[in-house]
């Protein structure tokens, strides 16, 4: 939050294209206090098209193409929603993303690009690959080359098709020693190029041994060939569609005014039919002065879009700027090897120097998204109490379970309270829940809450709900009902309603999937978002506790470790966005199916959360009078987590977790993962050795990546490593 000012406006950017990426970076430098900025994108990264031919040719690694939107959103103080928007409702001012609650907006900008799918060609959907979206094509191309390559057919003979054909030929010759690449076009290959540039590019295609099939209609794409309307077949283990710029089909039902499927925008980049909606990049049609689809216009539109969004957010429509695209621009076209051709207004040059120039331009563009450093915190007052600086440290306070108090604080406080006054309250020492006897039924009552670790409060709500259900599942109870406890940051009254509706819709979906429902709750306003739930569950027989583990039993863990260090690193802009997105997705996965399989066999079970694997396993050992032996090599760990721990990145509660177990856990190289606090972590179950293999098989068949990580041993309560 910016100085705890109330949030008054929602700006939503749909798509992580070049324009929006630049707007996010500019927003970090000049945010508008009181605005919440959201970016919606299908994945945690957005590919940069300028370097795609170089990647296809083998000059750039796959990661070099990607703008890390997780890091960029954190840098900009924006919310990232990972999902592909498939519908907008401009009347209700709402964006719909499959699998989650709708997103409301005050201002909306679309930068969703185009696609190269060819549904009119039989077999293309099954056997072809569209050049756009770029990430799907790039990943498919890598698999094709690593699988041994083969003949390639490029459908579309424009500049992009020729450029990718030369790049593919270069890569295949380098990787396999031979290349068979064909460009197919219903008209002339490179027919829209200036004659001088066309002649030079045709010569380059010939030198790259690229075969041309002009005036050819594609009738079908098959698994290993492309069949032309003439009946001729062209061998193709990889059929690439690059023919034309096609608008996304869902825009047709958007209610926006379109021009040949593209969003018509005015001189300020606003939709001509809806002034609160902007559109930029290839998905837009610039009505005052139409321009071809080219990345250079998207880049130049960014400052105008940024200023206009700011102006409207501040109620200053009089400050709107006009976009003035240039009449022509320099075209730099890769030639496969490390050479490029330059053309502008009929002037043509080619060579290695031009490729180096193009590479420098591309790297400079990408570098502005790589060199992101956390914003410096506001300075402390000159005079503060002794110890304040040391208590704050030099890292931000973690969210999720990384924000917990250290082990023992709550236990010691509870130990001083009176107990045993009611016969219908069963004590479950060591469990984060209580068991109430109601007639012949036992009811589990548990509560938990999370300090926000993501600006996506919809995702936060879903994870908080699953996290709160953990104790219920661990005790073998069937979830029954939930009460919500919400602390919202300062918001305008309309935004309070928006946030509340989105949070409750996401949480309700989680509880409904488990057969439970939200029956009420309490809300208040504070400095930051906190979401929690009190959950009840019913137990048909005896609840599973921590106290039943027996020597010889196997230890089964149902989710990988590492969320603590990944969340801490994300706050410091030190984690890869793809790794963070994987952690978010895991935290949003229900443990209900795993609990249903484990509960009939588990003698002791817990969910692994804030005290880390070692802390929660030690709770089982202490309650059961047993020890445990763990295999460090067997522990499942989320991608990127071990590397971050090796760099010294720790969650806030990591050190207290380790300190609380000093002398009771054997130390070994690489044991840091044992103390990493987990948010919405997996279940840790003790099961008879005779049942372990069959249980793991059933878990794996259900899509649960459970792992046997060790065994229960004779006491005392101590964890050894092997």
- pLDDT tens track for 8-59: 999 999 999 999 999 999 999 999 999 999 999 999 999 998 999 999 999 9
Domain containing residue 491: 432-544
Does residue 422 form part of some domain? no
Tell me, what CATH number does 356's domain have?
3.50.50.100
Helix (H) / strand (E) containing 509:
helix 493-513
Do residue 590 and residue 704 come from a single domain?
yes
What are the E-state strand segments in 507-552?
A: 517-525, 530-539
pLDDT of residue 402: 61
Query: Closest Cα partner for 108 from 21, 14, 22?
Result: 14
The whole-number average pLDDT for the span 489-509 is 94
* Confidence label for 73 from pLDDT (cuts 50, 70 and 90): very high
Q: Is 569 in contact with 649 (CB distance < 8 Å)?
A: yes
Does residue 427 form part of some domain? no
Torsion on CA atoms 186, 190, 194, 198, rounded to nearest 10: -130
Does residue 578 form part of some domain? yes
- pLDDT tens track for 406-449: 676 666 666 667 676 787 887 664 456 888 888 888 899 998 98
End position of a domain, from candidates 544, 578, 600: 544
For 605-654, the DSSP string reads EEE--TTHHHHHHHHHHHHHTEEEEE-GGG--B-TTHHHHHHTT---TTH
Does residue 559 form part of some domain? yes
Does residue 137 form part of some domain? yes
Q: Is the pLDDT of residue 2 over 50?
A: no
Do residue 201 and residue 344 come from a single domain?
yes
Q: What is the pTM of this model?
A: 0.91
Min mean pLDDT across 1-15, 310-324, 465-479 is at: 1-15
Domain tally, the chain: 4
* Confidence label for 401 from pLDDT (cuts 50, 70 and 90): low
Do residue 536 and residue 550 come from a single domain?
no
Mean pLDDT of the chain: 91
Q: Is the pLDDT of residue 567 over 90?
A: yes
The whole-number average pLDDT for the span 468-480 is 94
Q: Is 448 in contact with 507 (CB distance < 8 Å)?
A: no
End position of a domain, from candidates 274, 295, 327: 327
Residue 256 φ/ψ, nearest 5 degrees: -80, 150
Do residue 698 and residue 624 come from a single domain?
yes
Helices and strands (DSSP H and E) totals, the chain: 21, 36
Q: Where are the alpha helices (DSSP H) in 514-624?
A: 563-571, 577-587, 592-598, 612-624
pLDDT of residue 406: 66
Do residue 605 and residue 684 come from a single domain?
yes
Do residue 565 and residue 661 come from a single domain?
yes
Contacts of 408 (CB under 8 A, 6+ apart): 660
pLDDT of residue 290: 85
* Confidence label for 625 from pLDDT (cuts 50, 70 and 90): very high
Cα dihedral 646, 652, 653, 659 sign: positive
Q: Is the pLDDT of residue 630 over 90?
A: yes
Tell me, what CATH number does 36's domain have?
3.50.50.60
- pLDDT tens track for 694-719: 999 999 999 999 999 999 999 899 99
The whole-number average pLDDT for the span 346-361 is 94
- Encoding tokens for residue 318? 């009089």
Whole-number Å distance between alpha carbons of 603 and 607: 14
Does residue 414 form part of some domain? no
Q: Is 446 in contact with 474 (CB distance < 8 Å)?
A: no
Tell me, what CATH number does 678's domain have?
3.90.650.10
End position of a domain, from candidates 496, 523, 544: 544
Do residue 120 and residue 199 come from a single domain?
yes
Pairing of strands 210-213, 181-184: parallel
* Confidence label for 403 from pLDDT (cuts 50, 70 and 90): low
Do residue 41 and residue 143 come from a single domain?
no
Whole-number Å distance between alpha carbons of 283 and 266: 14
- pLDDT tens track for 150-190: 999 999 999 999 999 999 999 999 999 999 999 999 999 99
Pairing of strands 478-488, 554-557: unpaired
Do residue 551 and residue 537 come from a single domain?
no
Do residue 648 and residue 709 come from a single domain?
yes
pLDDT of residue 114: 86
Do residue 277 and residue 303 come from a single domain?
yes
Q: Which residue has the higher pLDDT, 642 or 421?
A: 642
Does residue 453 form part of some domain? yes
Whole-number Å distance between alpha carbons of 476 and 544: 6
Whole-number Å distance between alpha carbons of 54 and 57: 5
Tell me, what CATH number does 445's domain have?
3.30.1330.10
Q: Is 592 in contact with 703 (CB distance < 8 Å)?
A: no
Does residue 609 form part of some domain? yes
Do residue 239 and residue 255 come from a single domain?
no
């Amino acid at each position: 939050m910016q100085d705890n000012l109330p949030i008054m406006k929602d700006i939503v950017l749909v798509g992580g294209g070049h324009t929006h990426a630049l707007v996010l970076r500019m927003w970090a430098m000049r945010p508008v206090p009181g605005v919440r900025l959201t970016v919606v994108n299908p994945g945690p990264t957005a590919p940069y098209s300028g370097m795609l031919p170089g990647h296809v040719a083998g000059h750039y690694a796959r990661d070099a193409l990607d703008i890390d939107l997780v890091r960029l959103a954190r840098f900009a103080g924006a919310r990232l929603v990972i999902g592909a928007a498939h519908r907008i409702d401009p009347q209700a001012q709402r964006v719909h993303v499959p699998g989650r609650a709708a997103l409301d907006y005050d201002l909306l900008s679309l930068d969703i690009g185009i696609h190269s799918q060819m549904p009119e060609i039989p077999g293309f959907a099954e056997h072809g690959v569209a050049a756009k979206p770029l990430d799907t094509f790039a990943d498919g191309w890598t698999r094709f080359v690593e699988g041994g390559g083969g003949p390639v057919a490029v459908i579309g003979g424009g500049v992009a098709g020729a450029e990718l054909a030369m790049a593919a030929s270069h890569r295949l010759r380098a990787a396999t020693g031979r290349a068979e690449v064909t460009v197919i076009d219903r008209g002339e290959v490179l027919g829209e190029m200036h004659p001088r540039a066309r002649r030079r590019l045709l010569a380059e295609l010939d030198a790259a041994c690229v075969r041309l099939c002009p005036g050819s209609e594609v009738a079908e794409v098959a698994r290993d060939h492309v069949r032309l309307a003439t009946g001729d077949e062209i061998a193709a283990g990889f059929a690439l569609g690059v023919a034309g710029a096609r608008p996304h089909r869902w825009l047709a039902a958007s209610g926006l005014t379109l021009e040949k499927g593209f969003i018509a925008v005015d001189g300020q980049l606003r939709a001509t039919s809806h002034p609160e909606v902007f559109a930029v990049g290839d998905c837009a049609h610039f009505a005052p002065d139409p321009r071809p689809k080219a990345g250079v216009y998207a880049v130049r539109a960014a400052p105008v879009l940024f200023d206009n969004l700011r102006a409207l957010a501040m109620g200053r429509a009089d400050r709107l700027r006009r976009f003035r695209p240039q009449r022509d621009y320099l075209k730099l076209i890769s030639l496969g090897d490390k050479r490029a051709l330059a053309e502008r207004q009929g002037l043509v040059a080619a060579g290695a120097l031009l490729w180096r120039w193009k590479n420098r331009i591309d790297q400079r563009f990408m570098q502005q998204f790589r060199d992101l450093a956390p914003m410096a915190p506001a300075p402390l007052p000159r005079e503060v109490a002794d110890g304040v600086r040391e208590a704050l440290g030099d890292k931000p306070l973690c969210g999720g379970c990384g924000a917990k108090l250290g082990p023992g604080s709550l236990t010691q406080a509870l130990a001083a309270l009176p107990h045993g006054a009611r016969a219908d309250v069963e004590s479950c020492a060591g469990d984060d829940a209580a068991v109430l006897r109601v007639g012949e039924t036992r009811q589990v009552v548990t509560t938990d809450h999370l300090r926000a670790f993501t600006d996506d409060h919809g995702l936060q709500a879903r994870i908080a709900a699953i996290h709160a259900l953990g104790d219920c599942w661990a005790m073998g109870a069937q979830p029954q009902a939930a009460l919500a406890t919400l602390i919202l940051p300062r918001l305008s009254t309309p935004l309070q309603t928006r946030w509340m509706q989105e949070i409750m819709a996401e949480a309700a979906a989680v509880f409904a999937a488990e057969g439970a429902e939200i029956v009420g709750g309490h809300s208040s306003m504070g400095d930051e978002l906190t979401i929690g739930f009190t959950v009840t569950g019913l137990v048909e027989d005896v609840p599973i506790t921590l106290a039943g583990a027996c020597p010889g039993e196997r230890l089964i863990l149902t989710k990988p470790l590492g969320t603590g260090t990944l969340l801490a690193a994300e706050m410091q802009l030190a984690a890869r966005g793809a790794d963070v997105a994987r952690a978010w997705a895991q935290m949003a996965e229900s443990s209900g199916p795993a609990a249903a399989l484990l509960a009939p066999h588990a003698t002791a079970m817990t969910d692994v959360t804030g005290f880390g694997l070692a802390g929660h396993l030690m709770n089982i050992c202490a309650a059961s009078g047993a020890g445990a032996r763990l295999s460090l090599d067997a522990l499942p760990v989320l991608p990127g987590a071990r590397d971050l721990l090796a760099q010294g990145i720790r969650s806030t509660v990591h050190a207290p977790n380790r300190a609380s177990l000093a002398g009771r856990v054997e130390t070994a190289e690489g044991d840091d993962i044992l103390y990493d606090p987990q948010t919405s972590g997996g279940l840790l179950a003790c099961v008879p050795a005779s049942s372990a293999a069959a249980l793991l098989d059933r878990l794996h068949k259900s899509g649960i990546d459970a792992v046997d990580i060790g065994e229960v041993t004779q006491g005392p309560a101590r964890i050894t490593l092997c």
